[in-house]
Amino acid sequence: MVEQTVQIVSNEREADLYFRLVVRAPGIAPLVQPGQFAHVRILPLREALLRRPFSIFQVSGSTLSILYKTIGKGTEVLSRMRPGEELSMIGPLGHGFTVPPPSGETPLLVAGGYGMAALYLLAQRSPQKGIVFVGGRRRVDILCEEEFRALGWEVRVTTEDGSYGEKGLLTEALLTELKRRTPGRKLFACGPSPMLKAVGRLAAEFDLQAELSLDEHMGCGIGVCLACVVPIKAGDSWEYRRTCTEGPVFDSRQVAWEAAK
Amino acid sequence: MNLSVKIGTLTLQNPVTVASGTFGYGVEYSQLINLNQLGAVVVKGIRLGPVRGNPTPRTVEVTSGLINAIGLQGPGVDGFIRKYWPFLKALKVPTIINIWGTTVEEYAEVARRFDALGGVGALELNVSCPNIKEGGAQFGTDVRLLSQVVGACRKVTKLPLITKLSPNVVSIAPYAKAAEAAGSDALSIMNSFPAMAIDIETRRPRLANVTGGLTGPCIKPIAIKLVWEAAKAVRIPIIGMGGIQSTADAIEFLMAGATAVAVGTANFYEPQTALQVIAGLRQFMQQNRIKDLRELIGSVQTRK
């Protein structure tokens, strides 16, 4: 974990509300593991105090990139920042995905929308190439498909409105594939909570291991404020664990979805 | 140049500490800052047994502030001693342990356990957390109960006792005086303000706990006023806190009458804040030819 001032190299609109940010972060980029995140202080935000967490998308030498959607004041202000401007970044943070060992499981990646970003490094560093299932509401929500194909991965796209790929839910396409019962597979997922729950259920049904990247309101990002907790099984009960430190990636069998309601 | 101050029998190398609940157990920040440069490390509130804490969402960001309802999640006395004490014990700066309970007896028992541990710098009594059903603020908003809690802890330990007061009272002076009379060596002023935020689209509260405690720069002027009032009411030192994010903020607290300060919410967004404040204090003293930090304490001039 390193805190450093990073300089924006580029910050361009990818499509619709999605942007791609590249920063020079020599202290952070070389340390990044798949599924980890960076906690970013956007200085022009002023009276919005907290840092914003972003999954790290790609790493190249001393630079790293982030794929984000403008969903609030933080990301809107960020989207207006220009090359040469600076951000404060703490990273890499969190416990990420387990890269499969050589001749280990074949990964099936499941990405809801820009959840794709959190899975890219895993695809790049996995010795086995697998299948990426990516879903969104509309065509415009499907991002970085070509980048996964360029790694030699198969990409299966679903959109809820049928404007691109197969019409329907991502988890339906995943179910179809799982029914083939090809052995030696493992699931890795990032996306909205209902999707992650559904992936967890499918993993249980087909007796597969699944690693899920969970999302919860984050404060400090380094484990002290205890804002970002999720219920995780512990013995015959459960306890709150931090998505910023023990997570964001958890084994689906450990998540006590029903506990904290 | 002297920056050291005394809190009871405890000497701090400089007046800058951190607020309980914003600094974990110190170890979390050790990769980002040199903890040995702080005045003291103050850990998150600990009661006798482990505490699960409140459901999520536990925090919401508001203009220049943060509302939280964490619910004092923690490992309990034994869990703390096993997991965190070996690290803290090895630091060169004192550790102040924030303690709480749901009964007077539990406060005293936790105080006794930490007294027996050896090596603790001071105990801070949390009688002011707004986010738990039992314990916390119920002791800090009733003068009689406050005296009982402080008195019961005083009986079982010679460690410096710091009572962390609630801002949620009509006048802070009687509480400050009651804590002093019951044997408190110092006061922490203040804890968070009870607060609430609503999502207008869903008409739901932003926090699962419905209400929480407001912290951050937006509460600083209120905290300054409370420190100033309490400083006039008691002779014991005050640790001032509430929205400090710069050297100037810290100096305001000192001038209002605080002997030391604590950086709180700012730790969440800028972990370097406390160290920047320490450097800034030195610079301010140099520029103003102040040899001893104590010259600043309570130096506000309210007469024309």
CA distance to partner chain A, nearest, from residue B71 (Å): 10
Averaged confidence pLDDT in chain B: 96
Judged by a CB distance cut-off of 8 A, whether residue B267 touches chain A is: yes
Question: pLDDT band at residue B303, thresholds of 50, 70 and 90?
Answer: confident
Q: How many Cα atoms occupy the beta-carbon half-sphere of B42 within 13 Å? A: 31
Average pLDDT over residues A202-225: 96
Average pLDDT over residues B98-123: 96
Are A196 and A210 contacting, i.e. CB atoms less than 8 angstroms apart? no
pLDDT on residue A113: 87
Q: What is d(CA A195, CA A198) in angstroms, rounded to the nearest whole number?
A: 5
pLDDT on residue B218: 97
Instruction: Using the predicted structure, report yes or no on whether residue B47 has a pLDDT greater than 80.
Output: yes
- List CB contacts (< 8 A) between A227 and chain B: 56-59, 68, 70
B218 has catalytic annotation:
no
Nearest residue on chain A to B43, judged by CA atoms? A224
Average pLDDT over residues A45-71: 95
pLDDT on residue A260: 63
Average pLDDT over residues A180-191: 95
Q: What is d(CA B153, CA B151) in angstroms, rounded to the nearest whole number?
A: 5
Q: Terminus-to-terminus CA distance in chain B, angstroms? A: 30
Average pLDDT over residues A173-186: 95
- List CB contacts (< 8 A) between A47 and chain B: 63-64, 217
Are B189 and B196 contacting, i.e. CB atoms less than 8 angstroms apart? no
Q: What percent of chain A has pLDDT over 70?
A: 99
Instruction: Using the predicted structure, report yes or no on whether residue B128 has a pLDDT greater than 90.
Output: no
Of the candidates A96, A77, A74, A88, the one whose C-alpha atom is nearest the C-alpha of residue A39 is A88
User: Does A187 or A258 have the greater pLDDT score?
Assistant: A187
Of the candidates A211, A207, A174, the one whose C-alpha atom is nearest the C-alpha of residue A189 is A211
> Helix, strand or coil for residue A241?
strand
Judged by a CB distance cut-off of 8 A, whether residue B209 touches chain A is: no
Averaged confidence pLDDT in chain A: 95
- List CB contacts (< 8 A) between B21 and chain A: 225
Tell me: the pLDDT tens digits for B222-253?
Answer: 999 999 999 999 999 999 999 999 999 999 99
pLDDT on residue B282: 98
- List CB contacts (< 8 A) between B63 and chain A: 47-48
Find the CB nearest B31 among A1, A48, A219: A1
Q: What is d(CA A52, CA B45) in angstroms, rounded to the nearest whole number?
A: 26
Instruction: Using the predicted structure, report yes or no on whether residue A135 has a pLDDT greater than 80.
Output: yes
Find the CB nearest A224 among B24, B31, B272: B24
Torsion of CA A60, A62, A68, A70, to 10 degrees: -140
Torsion of CA A69, A70, A71, A77, to 10 degrees: 140
Question: pLDDT band at residue B132, thresholds of 50, 70 and 90?
Answer: low
Find the CB nearest B56 among A3, A47, A217: A217
CA distance to partner chain B, nearest, from residue A53 (Å): 11
- For residue A193, the surrounding DSSP H or E stretch is helix A193-205
Determine, for residues A49 and B267 on separate chains, whether the beta-carbon distance falls below 8 Å: no
Average pLDDT over residues B95-122: 96
pLDDT on residue B289: 97
Instruction: Using the predicted structure, report yes or no on whether residue A261 has a pLDDT greater than 80.
Output: no
